[in-house]
Structure 1
């Protein structure tokens, strides 16, 4: 018998092992999921898709020893909505103490399989960090029952979308994947579009209408005037539907949400009578007893009509008056108690086995006064009373620490009660944002001991369907899918702030497999930080005081007729209190007095913006879009925002030098100012040109009006003229 050299034998043995292992490659995986429930079925479907992406078929089994087993258990370590994944050679076990946690465990396992493969599943125990995690959704139900955001392109484009069940199913599924567990719908006066109120049946509205009138650019900032004749006298019916069909529609939406562990809450501003048309003598006056009765019965009827509606919330202070005059906080709280509180108490008494949530925003009223007035609600066993506080005013993208709860003594005043922290994003409407380090630090800095949870959303934007993208294949997709990374970050890190950047990098690699995920993550992180670095320095805390993508505010805070924040406004406007920045006037005085500071100077802020923008642009040099249209738009957004960062870097430096010139009369400082502002003008043109490759403009917004990049370009050029002016 002929012998073979040892290395030849080893080669043949390894070849045989390879053939055997290939012939036994796993192509089918069994799953034991004995619970028949929509939440679990959703998780199993996600597992099926994840395995299919790996070429593996998922087969349901009655054997508890199946490859994957989902089960409800008793546990001292798993909390509500939490889960544990345990992995051995024989089985992957997903455990929860409730259906909600088991669903999230299934989603986590599906994600791991998709990212790493079934052989590389990592054991994990996760419990929710924030109990409530949801979007703030200003909802444009109908021109007759508007939200705050209706006087805008976002509002008018999305009215028909709000009555599309396919939109809501996709929206709810996506929210569940991102770990959000409630949706708050915000409206000035939603009742005529949602319920038939006993004794006020004639108010209920059939059909969905939108205005075709000639809108004004800007409206009252408190939501007043949305029912003016020029709006309501010219309307079109976008959908024929009866009030009974509307009720059936929203019942189905809320029921579908329940199947994904997503509750619905309805939150209002007050007092508005939109949609009532003066019927039954209803007005928006606080001392109108008919209005009080109508509101009280409307609150109760919401819960009677919608068995899956979990909560109601209110704001006191938007339009609460008597004979056109401003009222006191006590008067406003008395009205709110007589209407909202009594309404929910009526519902709670009639439905004692049902749990209700009552949310009172701490807005133009003190927390102690609220607690005293609403004590009967707080003491009702089947009503959970929660505060809501606008944690970062209108701009979460400003600083990772916020001072406003401290300034209002809010935590001390609520005396151990719980709040929902309102996280307002009135910054990123056009461009995709993604900075996990910022989100993780921001969430970590929020006072957790009093936190019931968060809501994340906007007043100047409606997160419905995209209408800005030029590409017909992408236009019309859900905003939360276009801006998927941003929404995923806030949802997932609110559930588990310990998720590291390696997981997010893996998600990027999975979504964009033909690019360098590490460079993409780095570029996206750096470009996204342009928002907080700029806004932390140029701090207009409310939505009408600053919109970064247009360098705009309402004309009044801009201190000019256009609303453009020119070089003079960049000198005069202050900084975010927790940003660690120094104002331009303080910097000028420091230079004159030859002193120093531990704060970040304006020129250092400028340098930081250069570093971020240049860093992102450097990473983009080797990234290609390939055939992915989404990646092409993402890279375009990153480049666009990087140019915006360069614009603000030069503008801040130019504003600083101009302020120095005005104080010292040194023409060398003026020349530096002109040079910086000239370069800023060049980058503004780069910014808008890059943006317009993929996006439409102008854009009409409800808080700062028309965002017309072509017009704004002329105003940007005027900064150079301002800097060139000689001192008298």
Structure 2
């Protein structure tokens, strides 16, 4: 047992009294990585409070215990008996989380004698971040390339992994097309790696550093790739996949024997050379054009799975559910493909723990409805769930392709999401984006003094809500409000409620506007795919687009039914109901932040501005819907007052859009988005750029005519 004594200075400076000192001795059960890290966080927390170390028996005893006799639910308990504080974990992660919870109290100003006894355990065992790496990217885009320097710096990863541990995420999944040449020089295919020994050593140090830092924080690491890819150097040397040297995502599957052998040997060598890497994942999709589901599954069996079996240790596996049930890659589902995939997963008996079977929740837009409406390709049958699987657990992919700039945090949406989708066959969630990397902050205008460095730090509430609620879905709002107070002072805790109200805006748009893949909706910008380009959602598109959530009623359907004298079931959300909810919540959000003083805190200014932006976007949406109903009514029934009403509401919508511009223009740059920059044409996003398109809604209403065919 290692003893460390610490001096606590705990005072009542706010009451003008002298501080009094207390000392604490820490008993540490071992020097395993998570425990060493936990103690380092305790030391750091005390140091930030001006507390010094002292080598003698303390007035308080902080006893860290590891009780491995119980089941590993990453659980912990904190008990206070007299002057003894005991933190017990049922695993290394459980003990780490207990120490982090203790540190959270200290940071929030809780005195030792007032530490409250409590216990927590993980609601879900798999709590992952999806992180696309900016080299050999899934999409080729300047919006992704600009993160390369940041993501090659271990300082970034240390900060990111600290955030993950603090928020109880326990898996980091790293995605790119072909990771192996960045990590190894394949023994039998050295030509596949184009780096010099010195360059490769730098890449290897980066990956080993990431995996080591993650292990110390109780975080599993996975490499997840798309298929079938080889390095351009390998392709040229062996005259294979010559039609895909630039790594297009939609390419024909090359199943030649040399590619199979190369892939298999790379998998084995990476697992052997990187002992801190937890596992691998694979995708039944890109660069597998023309292959049947059976051929794709067979390919994985002969390559990645065979390579894992040959490694000198067990590894974990992410098995993505097939994105296509036919020869194409656009997305489709079938019972036969589900049965094939399930049989394949149930047979695997050499892995470390259950397989995490990843399924995209509501395709690329999980920030829509909490009900499972669709997956990649369409509707999901119950094949993966009935009967209860023995060898795998479902892990929902909560993809965010809907907001990258504005801060977002709606705790009850996440709670409901977890509660609705945590059946016994579910193991957890992935949270992350395909079209955005949370590394370099390219949003914030230069010259703005703020307390963050990296992009993910701007979205601290997003990560804290998802991580803490996935760990314990009963985590109360008081935890998140206390973090606002710690960061910005008393009176700012109302920002959580304001964020929760204003943040419903993108959720409601995504529920009311049907979508499929990434570019089919960008809620933050009120943009959607229009044939081959990403455009502003015009008033006509808003009228005619069917909803994603069947509980919602489109404008076109609403006006048609009402014109015919019909009614809707009470459970349906009609445009007038949606308008009422948007206006009620967004106006309340604006009221809540009226008293928040941002004068002396520029970081707080951004927090408040983002609530204002979401709220004004919600009010814009409400007026746009009013205008849409009036315009469609005019087209069906005529009546000049209907057209006049449409024009008036759309004019008010434009006013709210102008308010969004006024709020965001002083704070945010024009932003590079994958949606625009795949062709390097330099197009960027800001609400001001879309103003002409928003104003054009008025012209559409002014030029509207009555449909005489009705």
Q: Structure 1 residue 421 and structure 2 residue 396: aligned?
A: yes
Q: Give the alignment partner of residue 243 of structure 1, picking from 189, 195, 200.
A: 200
Aligned to 1:436: 411
Shift of 1:565: 1.4
Correspondence list, 1:144-543, <5 A: 146-153=136-143, 155-206=144-195, 241-276=198-233, 277-283=235-241, 285-321=253-289, 326-347=290-311, 351-352=312-313, 354-365=314-325, 366-374=337-345, 376=347, 378-380=348-350, 382=352, 384-404=354-374, 407-412=380-385, 415-416=388-389, 417-472=392-447, 473-474=449-450, 477-513=453-489, 515-543=490-518
What's the RMSD between the two structures over aligned residues?
2.6
Q: Give the alignment partner of residue 113 of structure 1, picking from 106, 114, 128.
A: 106
Q: Give the alignment partner of residue 79 of structure 1, picking from 72, 89, 99.
A: 72
* Change beyond 3 A, Cα 1:726–1:260: closer
Shift of 1:179: 0.7
Residues 368-423 of structure 1, C-alpha deviations (whole Å, 9 max, x = no match): 212334555x1225464331100232222212222336733254367413121111
What TM-score comes out, normalization by structure 1 length?
0.85
Decide whether the 8 Å contact of 2:284 with 2:323 is kept in 1: yes
Residues 308-352 of structure 1, C-alpha deviations (whole Å, 9 max, x = no match): 11111111122213xxxx3322222222222222222222xxx25
Shift of 1:486: 0.6
Aligned to 1:42: 37
Aligned to 2:23: 28
Decide whether the 8 Å contact of 1:400 with 1:442 is kept in 2: yes
Q: Structure 1 residue 717 and structure 2 residue 695: aligned?
A: yes
Shift of 1:521: 1.9
Q: Which runs of 5+ in 2 are unaligned?
A: 1-12, 242-251, 326-336
Give the SS at the match of 2:440: coil
Residues 551-583 of structure 1, C-alpha deviations (whole Å, 9 max, x = no match): 2223317xxx662211111112121226x3211
Shift of 1:89: 2.4
Give the SS at the match of 1:617: helix
* Change beyond 3 A, Cα 1:704–1:653: farther
Give the SS at the match of 2:526: coil
Give the SS at the match of 2:408: coil
Decide whether the 8 Å contact of 1:333 with 1:370 is kept in 2: yes
Give the SS at the match of 1:420: strand
Decide whether the 8 Å contact of 2:76 with 2:90 is kept in 1: yes
Residues 506-557 of structure 1, C-alpha deviations (whole Å, 9 max, x = no match): 12111111x4134222212111111212221123243210001222223317
Moved more, 104-113 or 412-421: 412-421
Decide whether the 8 Å contact of 1:563 with 1:704 is kept in 2: no
Shift of 1:715: 0.9
Q: Which runs of 5+ in 1 are unaligned?
A: 1-17, 208-239
Q: Give the alignment partner of residue 81 of structure 2, picking from 77, 88, 113.
A: 88
Shift of 1:55: 5.3
Aligned to 1:6: none
Paired with 1:342 and 1:37, the residues of 2 have a C-alpha distance of 32
Shift of 1:431: 0.8
Residues 414-453 of structure 1, C-alpha deviations (whole Å, 9 max, x = no match): 7413121111111220011111122111111113311222
* Change beyond 3 A, Cα 1:22–1:40: farther
Decide whether the 8 Å contact of 1:136 with 1:456 is kept in 2: yes
Paired with 1:59 and 1:359, the residues of 2 have a C-alpha distance of 50
Moved more, 589-598 or 365-374: 365-374
Moved more, 650-659 or 174-183: 650-659
* Change beyond 3 A, Cα 1:275–1:482: farther
Moved more, 442-451 or 461-470: 442-451
Shift of 1:704: 8.3
Residue-pair matches, total: 656
What TM-score comes out, normalization by structure 2 length?
0.87
Give the SS at the match of 1:67: strand
Give the SS at the match of 1:395: coil
Q: Give the alignment partner of residue 727 of structure 1, picking from 689, 694, 705.
A: 705
Shift of 1:113: 2.3
Q: Structure 1 residue 664 and structure 2 residue 657: aligned?
A: no
Paired with 2:600 and 2:221, the residues of 1 have a C-alpha distance of 39
Paired with 1:61 and 1:109, the residues of 2 have a C-alpha distance of 22
Residues 614-640 of structure 1, C-alpha deviations (whole Å, 9 max, x = no match): 111112211111422211111111111
Shift of 1:48: 3.2
Decide whether the 8 Å contact of 1:368 with 1:413 is kept in 2: no
Aligned to 1:127: 121
Paired with 2:496 and 2:304, the residues of 1 have a C-alpha distance of 46
Residues 183-242 of structure 1, C-alpha deviations (whole Å, 9 max, x = no match): 0011112222222122211121327xxxxxxxxxxxxxxxxxxxxxxxxxxxxxxxx952
Decide whether the 8 Å contact of 1:140 with 1:149 is kept in 2: no
